[in-house]
Structure 1
Amino acid sequence: MSRRTFNPVAIAALGAALIIGGCHSDTPSGAAVPEATPAVHLVRQQGVELIQFNASDIPGLSIIQVQNIELPGLLETSGQITYDDRSTSTIISRVQGRIEQTRVSLWDNVQRGEKIIALYSPDFMTAESEYLQAHETSKLIAAPGVGGSSDFSGALALAAKRKLQFLGMTDADIQAIKAPDPVVWMRAPISGTVVDNKVQRGGAVNPGDVLFSLGTLNDVWITGDIYEDDLARVRVGQDLSAITTAFPDEVFHGVIDRISPNIDPTTHTLQIRCVVKNPGGKLKPQMLAKVTVVTRPGEALVIPQDALVFDIDNYYAFVEVSPGTFEHRKVTIASWSKVGYARIVSGLKAGDRVVGGETLQVNALWHEAHGESS
């Protein structure tokens, strides 16, 4: 830092001038000069309450015009990775019984048809006995010289088989039945990973209890939010890319699979569901991902944040409806990539003129005019 030198004669002259000026001042020593308060009036036009003041009476206040900003031909959103529920399955107990044995644990990989869990239940033994008896009856009726309805016996055998299928047995297991057995192995309905295990050996189960959940990660879902005014820029089948913090140098590719029919009335956003290829199973459920959709250019309504004031639980802007007359209008905003700016979701339109720079002071005048403290 450079050293500054001061002229003693100049300092003495400056001190004398201050003393002389103080002797001739009409303002008492130490008293502050009060700032003039702008004249403010409240009026009502067409059922809307407005505030009137002279903008030139507030130093630093400016009137800015709301404009649309061109958006590039890219639409970005972030979302969370989940399983594609069309590639998940559960093993559910359809009987009352207990767990005799399990062959897999959480996060194990299994193949379709692989034995997963052995259930003990008298319901299995009863159903198997009915099945074997129905087949024996069919054989007797079909024997030479034995009278009876083969159609009826065939229906009984089919009904007994359907009952075993309903209890969770596969056709191969049913054909292999030689004698009634209360223990039946439940098999994996799909090839995948055990993502949820709710059983323990010896534990009791009831009909409807979920025992295991299986999922695959060949394709995953990423669900993200887009703004209402970007809806026209997306469509089902549109190509996209995704990156994650876990693999920042690897790009995953997919398409938009579904667009939500519902719009959140608070944020004016809706969701898109993306199906993304997942080679090697690197993308895991609950990971966060950034999605980029190549689309046509669009527009966004963006204004400086100092043109907004947060009051109680909402954002407001003071919109000029005529020279010197302003409306206290509620607006909905969203984040914007440029620091110091906000994206307008609702409440303003292109061409609106709003107060900028001294919005907090104008908001204080608004409350004072209503006899409130800001």
Structure 2
Amino acid sequence: MTISSKRFKTFKPRIEILSVLALSVLPLTACKHTPPAAEQQPTNVGVETAVVHPTVSTDYLEVPAHIMADPAHVVHIYPPLSGRIFGLTILPGQNVVKGQMIAQLQSNDIAVARSDFEKAKIEVIRADGALARGKLLLAHDVLSKADFAELQATDDVAHSQMEQARQHIHELGFAENSTADTVALRAPISGAVLDIGTATGEMQRSLDNATSIATIANLDTVWVVGDIFEKDLASVRPGRTVDIVVPAYPDLKLTGRIDNISDALDPTTHTLKVRVVLPNPKHQLKSDMFATIRIAGAPHQTFILPATAVLHEADRTFVFVANASGGFDQRAVTVGRTLDSGTVKNIEVLSGLNDGEKVVTAGGALLRPTSGD
């Protein structure tokens, strides 16, 4: 019993030491099977970057406008007398030359005008006879000078009324010795027919309540008229060179000068009329076409980035900029115009970036800022 007890006491400390060593080895074994840390795995998949440099850009004030014919070269043709239209030979959009017959008008009003002329002729014959007799009586001191002066005045009035009646017949398009009751309506200027207000067989009233038979405009020069808000008035002045953009001809480059700025403010829209006069030798520009007046502002430096580089969150606008540690900082920026070239949409960044910085141009929505804003 004594020997056994001694052996037990001798080996017990060795068993405890082995147990402690075994426990201390377990953590080391476990560490060898831990997976790689997240930092060692691929990151920023789908993120594209680019080094940015400033460029000179110019802001443009774009004024919506439309094209119209110069009012000084627009003629509305009205019937000279009441009657029926026949033989209408023009159509809207057709070009006519000065003196070309566009229609005929048949009217009974010419009969009234001729009757007035015949009455005036009779009065002239009567007044001339009275004046001739008065001269004889005055020569024999039978007629006073005052009475003779009255006869002279009556004769002058008769001649004046006859000439007036003759002129009226000519204005209606007839000759005083003619018996015709139709008059040819002719184009007073060369140009394009903008619209027609009548048709063959339609009755036309006299000048008092007439509707236009046709409107003819010479389109060798046209007006581009736009509406500018009063807040933009400081950037517009007469004589300034502007660009004209016409949606109908996207490749057509037009340049003109501001000819006039209206002095009357529209009380409803609070806009002013701006007018640009353009030559139109080929008549490409048509009345009532849409157009835009582009007024260049002062040049300034800006960064042009793809629209995908600029992100928005609530009322914040920002981009991601690469930092020295390989991460990306969120940077607040101020943006300007959106530049749409059809296939690519870019955006101006006015402030917040520096020359030579690397900016995320695509995939920024996948990132989280490491520092900065």
Rate the CA distance shift 1:340–1:280 in 2: closer, same or farther, 3 A.
closer
1:273 partner SS: strand
- The answer to whether the 8 Å contact 1:129/1:179 transfers is no
Equivalent of residue 248 in structure 1, options 232, 235, 250: 250
1:284 aligns with 2:286: yes
C-alpha deviation, 1:103, in angstroms: 3.0
- CA separation of 1:99/1:110 partners in 2, compared to 1, >3 Å: closer, same or farther? same
Are 1:236 and 2:235 matched, yes or no?
no
Amino acid at match of 1:98: R
Sort the Cα spacing of 1:279 and 1:229 in 2 relative to 1 into closer, same or farther, 3 A.
Answer: same
2:257 pairs with 1:271: no
8 Å CA contact retained: 1:194, 1:214: yes
Tell me the TM-score normalized by structure 2.
0.53
Alignment gaps of 5+ in structure 1: 1-8, 12-69, 299-303, 310-334, 342-374
Structure 2 counterpart of 1:217: 219
Q: Give the match for residue 158 of structure 1.
A: 163
Alpha carbons 1:198, 1:210 under 8 Å: kept: yes
Deviation sequence 1:38-92 (CA, Å, 0-9, x none): xxxxxxxxxxxxxxxxxxxxxxxxxxxxxxxx99485432322122222211112
Provide the C-alpha distance between the structure 1 equivalents of 2:83 and 2:269, rounded to a whole number of angstroms: 49
State the 1:259 CA deviation.
1.9
Q: Which runs of 5+ in 2 are unaligned?
A: 1-32, 36-55, 135-150, 301-310, 317-335, 340-345, 349-373
1:104 partner SS: coil
Letter in 1 for 2:230: E
- Per-residue displacement from partner, 1:303-361 (whole Å, max 9, x unpaired)? x997879xxxxxxxxxxxxxxxxxxxxxxxxx9547889xxxxxxxxxxxxxxxxxxxx
Helix, strand or coil for the counterpart of 2:213? Answer: strand
Larger gyration radius, structure 1 or structure 2:
2
Does the CA contact (< 8 Å) of 2:338 and 2:347 recur in 1? Answer: no
Identity across matched positions, percent: 29
How big is the shift at 1:141?
A: 5.4
Q: After superposition, give the CA deviation of every residue in 1:93-134 in whole Å (9 maximum; x if it has no partner).
A: 353321132232322222233322211121122113323553
Q: In structure 1, what is the Cα distance between the partners aligned to 2:267 and 2:178?
A: 62
Q: Are residues 134 and 287 of structure 1, via their aligned partners in 2, closer, same or farther at CA, if it must alter by over 3 Å?
A: same
The residue type equivalent to 1:100 in the other structure is F
Quick one: distance in 1 between partners of 2:312 and 2:133?
Answer: 94
What do you get for the CA RMSD once the two structures are aligned?
Answer: 4.2
Structure 2 partner of 1:204: 203
Q: How has the CA–CA distance of structure 1 residues 240 and 154 changed in structure 2, closer, same or farther, with 3 Å as cutoff?
A: farther
- What is the TM-score when the length of structure 1 is the normalising length? 0.53
Q: Which of 69, 82, 86 pairs up with 2:68?
A: 82
Residues 106-185 of structure 1 mapped to structure 2, 5 A cutoff: 106-135=92-121, 138=124, 145=132, 149-161=154-166, 163-164=168-169, 169=172, 173-174=173-174, 176-185=175-184
- Kindly provide the CA deviation profile for residues 232-273 of structure 1, in whole angstroms up to 9, marking residues without a partner as x: 222234333323233334333433233233546786543312
